Amino acid sequence: MPDARAPRLEVQGLTRAFGGRPVVDGVSFSVAPGQVTCLLGPSGCGKSTTLRMIAGVERLEAGTVRIDGVAMAGPGLHLPPEKRGVGLMFQDFALFPHLTVAGNVAFGLGGDKAARARRVDELLERVNLTGFGPKHPHQLSGGEQQRVALARALAPRPGVMLMDEPFSGLDNRLRDGIRDVTLDILKEEGAGVVLVTHEPDEAMRMADEIALMRGGRIVQKGAPYNVYNAPVDKAAAAFFSDVN
């Protein structure tokens, strides 16, 4: 039995520069099963680059990434994204246009046909798209397409889910429901979640731990309540001042 408390994700000293300019500079954090860590900070502070290095779509220059105790990236090591067992949700989701909704959600699922169909039905129900399985993406609204993309990312039960502002394309009416459902599913299944956002409000609602980033570094880390109530400096306080 794996230790239920062992971190799903451990990031140590993650570092990357572009054109000689450091963009991510010694970022370290870990995520326990069922935990949501928010990388929070203003545009350009290195959140997406951090996530992309964890996913393996960007190379790191220094540091290590371990998933369930196994090194995925480090000095002389770079496993490709498909070998890392991570789920990805980005704002610019893309469904396969030639596949049905059910086909999109089942894509990449193993197991027998009946088990796949059960998982697809379960997820479509949870994202409020019961009965949409036979439709094609072009018959769906933008919000519906995004919910299919969420179901597809959740389907293989990834141990680590990496989400880069995945809810920002949704209208407010749908947004709260969908993000609650997404996190409920991930927590139930014991995934470790990294959620990137530039909105303090979203981080306050969703995070178990906030890692506040600035200029490629984590300047403060802690429970949302603590980070909000005891900001590390004036800039951190100002960044949070628009939360209500």
Q: List own/partner pairs for 110-119 with CB under 8 A and 24 or more apart.
A: 119/155
Q: Which residues contact 155 (CB under 8 A, 6 or more apart)?
A: 105, 106, 107, 108, 109, 119, 120, 123
Place of tokens 């379960």: 122
Give 48 or 104: the residue with its C-beta nearer to Mg ion: 48
73-88 in b/e form (b: 16+ CB < 10 A) is bbeeeebebeebbbbb
Q: Which of 231, 192, 225 is nearest to 212 (CA)?
A: 231
Binding mask 114-143 for Mg ion (x = CB under 5 A): ------------------------------
Decide: is 197 part of the binding site for Mg ion (CB under 5 A): no
Selection from Mg ion, ligand ADP, none that 214 binds (CB < 5 to 8 A by kind) is none
Q: How far is the CB of 233 from ligand ADP (least distance, A)?
A: 19
Q: How far is the CB of 24 from ligand ADP (least distance, A)?
A: 7
Q: How far is the CB of 79 from ligand ADP (least distance, A)?
A: 20
Residue-wise DSSP of 112-149: -HHHHHHHHHHHHHHTT-TT-TTS-GGGS-HHHHHHHH
Q: How far is the CB of 38 from Mg ion (least distance, A)?
A: 13
Of the candidate spans 41-49, 145-153, 212-220, 226-234, the one that interacts with Mg ion by CB under 5 A turns out to be 41-49
Give 25 or 122: the residue with its C-beta nearer to ligand ADP: 25
Q: How far is the CB of 52 from Mg ion (least distance, A)?
A: 9
- Position of minimal CB gap to Mg ion: 48
d(CA 72, CA 56): 8
Decide: is 48 part of the binding site for Mg ion (CB under 5 A): yes
Selection from Mg ion, ligand ADP, none that 18 binds (CB < 5 to 8 A by kind) is ligand ADP
Chain positions contacting ligand ADP, by CB under 6 A = 18, 23, 41, 43-49
Q: Do the Cβ atoms of 148 and 137 come closer than 8 Å?
A: yes
Q: Do the Cβ atoms of 225 and 203 come closer than 8 Å?
A: no
Residues in touch with Mg ion (CB under 5 A): 48
